[in-house]
Structure formats: structure tokens, C-alpha cells
A and B are shown apart, each in its own frame.
Chain A
């Protein structure tokens, strides 16, 4: 009897978790769909969108730039060590470039921006929810999705590729600095190897990924902030959930997108 009861409890627990997961996924999909519809349909709040582009893109430049610089530098050292084991030190420049542009630029850039921007958006919208500012928007005949969510989604999708393009350049430069100054490569040869082995598809696939990550980062910030619980704890939870879910989804989306680009 006790075994049956424990089994019943276990099955009920698993069932409740699965239902909860479906409910959360459904709510997120509906939220995303509503957000996309409001991005497409007028009116658009361009001033708010530009303000968000500045906050998401421009103010994330230092953290993304530094991440890319050190990543490029470390990558050059590691590839040199690995390459020297089978006399392939010459591939450092091209592998640094391909690694940064296809993978590390968008993924690490996305994760850094997720930490910075998702948290900020969730905290801002969560506070607005708690202090009734979102309700106030409605009473002022303004759709909160149009005014709060759509500008952030548009800004995320537009600015992340630009941010990642800059990160790509800085990351490659980090590899160049280490390659030339520490590993004694010839500067001209290093640049030639970087340019010759890099294809347009490498750059574009990274930028497409960045746009997708921009959407994920802003969507997670908006979703968790908009549905924030009450009080400081509610806003705190929204912030944590936004960063964690954005980071996990970036990594998952990265695999899916890489598979897609790999097979085309």
C-alpha cells in the first residue's frame, strides 16, 4: 500500500512538472507571438526603439569588446599549442578568424549581453509591473506590448549583429596581437591568412546567429519582467530567470542554427 502511494505521488509529481513545462512553454510562445505581431503592426515607438538600441547595443560594447579581445588572444595561444603537436602552427590565423566569426563572437557576445541586458530589462519591466506603471500605460490608452516589448525586441534583433560584427573584428585583432607579438608571426602573413581563409558564409552565419540571440535575450528579459511576481523577491526572481533562460536558450539555439548552417 505504501509502495503504491509513493508510486502515485511520484507519477503525480512528474505529471505536474510536465504540465507546468507545457504551460510555461505555451505562455512563452504566445508572448513571443504577440511581441512579433506588435513589432510588425503600427504604431511604432521609434524614439523608444532608438533608446533601447543605445542601451542594448552601444552600452554593451565595452563588455563584449573586452570579451572578444581576450577570447581571440587565448584562442591564438591554444591553437598554437595544439597545432605545434602536428606541425600546423601556420593555421593559427585562419582558425582564430573562423572560430571567432562563426562561433565564439556570437555565442560569447550573446552570453555577455544576456547577463547584462536580459537582467536589466527584466528588472526594469518587473519594477514597472510592481509599481503599476504597466497598468498606467493601459489606462493612458497605450498598449504595453507596443511601448515596452516591441521596441526592445526590435532593438535586440538589430543591434546584436552590429555588436557581434564589432566583436568579431576585435576578437581577430586579439589573435593578431598575440600572434605577432608573442608567437612571432609575420604581421602581413597573419592578416593574409585571416582574410584568405575566411568566407562570406562564415561571417553571415555568425551574424544570423547574433540576430537570433538578440531576439532570445530581449524576449527573455521582457517575458520574465512583464510577468514578474510581487515585491523585491518577485523582481529578483524575474531577473535571475531571465539571465538563466536566455543563456540556456542561446546555447540550445546555437546548436540548432549550427546544424542548419552545417547542412546547407
Chain B
């Protein structure tokens, strides 16, 4: 089967700092892939190269057999239409109300009333009532902002959804609610999902497959069930949170 997303030898440096040194990764259709790794290892840069927000210095990015890293104009627009993304901090537009945020993409092809209706349905899907629709992001708690971000990510039923640190900054209960929601919507929509996290609870709740990114390359990839028994020293150290091991920790 052709991968939904494929990264081939992707390199990216910022000045003298080489963040990605040859990332190779396949994400199959309807698969939920979770990329784990320490802070600053290039997890966010990896998904930003897929979205075209960061251009790789070398290598290829393929989405549905289309070269994504070199796509421009309408070809790129068509590719972007396939994606939804939940940003780490929500990245909700401050100047727009909750429903306008959720319906942002829908407004291109729908009237105001219809878009508002769809937005309210999506808000309900993530556990927010219509009474929140006219609030502004600044009036919401962190957990509610994540939900609105999730509603915006799924609003246009994308084929691929990216989740960047979806539980960071949330209390454990809210984090579990968000994890459950992510799993539900991904399964329900049949979407391909790529999640970035270093929260192992999220990994077990969300993932079909896990990829470990360290030193700018994918050190290990495999089914989530193999995580505990794979014997990979990087994975061992990371999932058990040990300071000693191949991953150097700053002390």
C-alpha cells in the first residue's frame, strides 16, 4: 500500500544547528502515528516540513504520491486542503469568536449561517455547547482552547490531522479527555493522524504506531504494542524517563 505521507532523507538546518539529518518515515492511510522524542529534537520541524511551513534543505516529502515539498500555487493549496492541525498553544485567532475560528476554512465555500451551524456541530463533537460559540479565545480556559483548536482542525473533515503536543499544559484529567477525543475523532473520520508528544500516556491512548526521533533521525519505529519490548536503548531510556543512556541529558 502507498503511504499517505512519506519523508525521504529529509534534512534541515538552522544556521549551524542541524535539526533534521535524514528523516525517513512512512505513515500509512488511516494510521495514527505518534512521534516521540525529547524537546528540541525536531519533532515540530518534521511536521512543518510536511505542511510546507518549513522547506527542507534536502530530501523529499510525499503526500498521496504528490511531491509536497516542491508543490506551489494551486497544487500546494490542494494539498493543504487535505490537512487539519491542532497547534500546541491552540493558535486560535484572537480577533475572531470561537465559531468563526472553527468555521474559518468553511467560510470559503459556505454562507455565514451554514458555516456557523457546522461550527456548532463540531464544537458539540468536542464537548462544547453552543453557548461558547460567541465567546472569544481570550475568554476560554486552556482545555477549552484545545477543544476549540481540535474542532477547527476537524471542521472540514480533513484526510490528515496533525496534533502538536496536544496535552501540554493541561491537567491529567483534561489531558485524558483530549486524548480520548483525538482517538475518537480520528477513528470516526478514518483520518490519518500524526501526533507529536513526549507524554507517554498520550502515546498509549492515541498511537497505532510510534516513531522515535533523536539526533535528527528516526531511531526506531514500530507498533505501539512493541514499545515496551523492542529493546531499543533510545526507546528504553525515553519511556522510562532515565537520565542515563544514549540520549544525553543536560544536568
- Which residues of chain A have a CB within 8 Å of any CB of chain B? 127, 131-133, 135-136, 138-142
Tell me the smallest distance from the CB of B93 to a CB of chain A, in Å. 6
- Whether A141 touches B77, Cβ cut-off 8 Å, given contacts A135-B48, A135-B53, A136-B85, is yes
Interchain pairs with CB closer than 8 A, number: 42
B133 at the interface (CB under 8 A from A): no
B88 at interface by CB-CB < 8 Å: yes
Interface residue tally for chain B (C-beta within 8 Å): 22
What is the chain B residue whose CB lies nearest that of A132?
B91
Please indicate the chain B residues that have their CB under 8 angstroms from the CB of A138 in the complex. 51-53, 80
Smallest distance from the beta carbon of A229 to chain B beta carbons, Å?
13
Which B residues lie within 8 Å of A133 (CB)?
A: 91-94
| CA gap between A138 and B77 in the complex, in Å | 9
Q: How far is the CA of A133 from the CA of B83 in the complex (A)?
A: 16
- CB proximity to A under 8 Å, residues B210-237: none
Cα(A108)–Cα(B242), bound, Å? 63
| Max chain B C-beta neighbours (<10 A), residue from A133, A138, A139 | A139
B53: which A residues are within 8 A, CB to CB? 135, 138-139
B89 near A131 (CB under 8 angstroms)? Answer: yes
Minimum distance in angstroms from A98 CB to a CB of chain B: 41
Contact across chains for B80 and A139 when beta carbons are under 8 A apart: yes
Tell me the minimal C-beta distance from A48 to chain B in angstroms: 9
**Complex Cα–Cα for A140 and B94 (A):** 16
A-B residue pairs in contact (CB < 8 Å), sample of 24: A131-B91, A132-B91, A133-B91, A133-B93, A133-B94, A135-B48, A135-B51, A135-B53, A135-B87, A136-B93, A138-B51, A138-B52, A138-B53, A139-B80, A139-B83, A139-B84, A139-B85, A140-B104, A140-B152, A141-B77, A141-B80, A141-B81, A141-B108, A142-B105
Closest to B79 in A: A141
Interface of A is mostly: helix
Smallest CB separation, B73 vs chain A (Å): 11
Residues from chain A with Cβ under 8 Å of B152 in the complex: 140
- Do the beta carbons of B80 and A136 come within 8 Å of each other? no
| Interchain CA distance A215-B73 in the complex, whole Å | 27
Nearest CB to that of A134 among chain B residues?
B91
How far apart are the CA atoms of A132 and B85 in the complex, in Å?
11
User: How far, in whole Å, are A173 and B51 apart by their CA atoms in the complex?
Assistant: 56
CB-CB under 8 A for A135 and B108, given A141-B77, A141-B81: no
**Which of A131, A138, A141 is the most central at the interface, judged by chain B CB atoms within 10 Å of its CB?**
A141
B88 to chain A, nearest CB (A): 7
Cβ–Cβ < 8 Å partners of B88 in chain A = 132
CA of A142 to CA of B106 in the docked complex: distance in angstroms? 11
| A101 CB, nearest partner CB in chain B, Å | 36
Taking A132-B91, A136-B85 as given, write out 20 further A-B residue pairs in contact, using a Cβ cutoff of 8 Å, ordered by the A residue number. A127-B94, A131-B91, A132-B87, A133-B91, A133-B92, A133-B94, A135-B53, A136-B91, A136-B92, A138-B51, A138-B52, A138-B80, A139-B53, A139-B80, A139-B85, A139-B162, A140-B104, A140-B105, A141-B81, A141-B105
Chain B residue nearest to A127 in the complex (CB): B94
- B window 179-233: CB within 8 A of A: none
Across the interface, which residues of B come within 8 angstroms of A141, CB to CB? Answer: 77, 80-81, 105, 108
The complex places the Cα of A139 from the Cα of B156 at a distance, in Å, of 12
Query: Can you name the residue of chain A whose Cβ is closest to the Cβ of B85?
Result: A139
